[in-house]
Amino acid sequence: MYILAIDTTGPLGSAALLDLETEKTVMKISAEEKGHLKNLMPLVQSLLEQEHAAPADIAAVAASVGPGSYTGIRIGVTSARAFAQALNIPCIRVGTLDMFRQKAEDRDAAVIFNARRGQVYGAVYRKGGGAVMEPCPCMLEDVYNCVKENGLNPVWYGDGIDAYQGSEQFGKYLEGAECADKSERYQTAGMAVREALRLYRAGETCRVEELLPEYMRKTEAEQKLQDGSLERARAAKLARFRSR
């Protein structure tokens, strides 16, 4: 039996199968950026073929649930939910930042996913895997300060590096930082399936309806509704409309 894991939260989607008996993992990564919807199921299909396995051989489906690209998160989570529903098997919910704990076995690790305008989804792990900063939405500056205040010397991961390294406004926080090579920098289904195995062995599976995205932020519309700016914007628009 296998665990199937899916990650479509970053620029490149991937799928992985882990053989529960041998704990051997195979993974395929899409060659096309943002082609998650188109490419994900063909990736899973070719993994199954490669392993001479059938969907019925899958014991649980794991999804990397975010944070990350909203649409990407949804493609992975939705696919995992339907796959699990069709086979009547449990799901495993893997936090995408949590997956980087694995990288902190022998070195401190700082993770930053780009959320634009200096914002990131970040996490910091001390060597050995203890969380110094739990996964959260914050500013790049906050992650930088956390690293400095705790006297850490981390390797940096995540697509926040690509977004902010060399940036006029925010580049200073990454100056001199040791950034992971691109082949190691991003989240993958291979990382997800290893985290999923740990959760599976611990009995931490969930039902289809419990496999939910971790967006980490409210939608812009909800934020605006809450702070009253939706109402103000609507009134202003109506006034402009009428004054034409």
Partner 1 sequence: MAFASDKEHMRKKERIMLNEQFITLGIESSCDETSIAVVADGRKILSNVISSQIAIHTKFGGVVPEIASRHHLQNINAVLQQSLDEAGVTLSDVDLIGVTNGPGLIGAVVIGVATAKALSLASGIPLVGVNHMHGHVSANYLQYEDLKPPFLALIVSGGHTNIVDVTDYNTCRVLGSTRDDAAGEAYDKVARVIGLGYPGGPKVDKAAKEGNPDAVQFKRVYLEKGSYDFSFSGLKTQVINYVHTEKMRGHELSVPDISASFQQAVVDVIVDEAVSAAEERREEKLVMAGGVAANSKLREEMQKACDAHGIRLYRPEPVLCTDNGAMIASAAYYKYRKNGADGLDLDAYANLPL
Q: Convert residues 76-115 into a mask of x (bound to partner 1 by CB under 8 A) and - (unbound).
A: -xxxxxxx-xxx----------------------------
Residue 162 burial (C-beta neighbours within 10 Å; 0-12, 13-18, 19+): middle
If the CB atoms of residues 86 and 169 are measured against partner 1, the closer one turns out to be 86
Shortest reach from residue 225's CB to partner 1, in Å: 7
Q: Convert residues 117-156 into a mask of x (bound to partner 1 by CB under 8 A) and - (unbound).
A: ----------------------------------------
DSSP output for 154-189: PEEESTHHHHHTT-TTTGGGGTT-EEPPHHHHS--H
> Site residues for partner 1, window 38-57 (CB under 8 A)?
38-42, 44-45, 55
Is residue 236 part of the contact set for partner 1 (CB under 8 A)? no
> Site residues for partner 1, window 196-215 (CB under 8 A)?
208-209, 212-213, 215
If the CB atoms of residues 56 and 202 are measured against partner 1, the closer one turns out to be 56
Strand 155-157 and strand 178-179: pairing?
parallel
If the CB atoms of residues 131 and 212 are measured against partner 1, the closer one turns out to be 212
Shortest reach from residue 49's CB to partner 1, in Å: 11
If the CB atoms of residues 49 and 134 are measured against partner 1, the closer one turns out to be 49
Q: Convert residues 4-43 into a mask of x (bound to partner 1 by CB under 8 A) and - (unbound).
A: ---------------------------------xxxxxx-
Torsion of CA 148, 154, 155, 161, to 10 degrees: -20
Tokens found for residue 66: 């975010």
Shortest reach from residue 42's CB to partner 1, in Å: 5
Binding site for partner 1 (CB under 8 A): 37-42, 44-45, 55, 70-71, 74-75, 77-83, 85-87, 208-209, 212-213, 215, 219-222, 225, 230, 234, 238, 241-242, 244
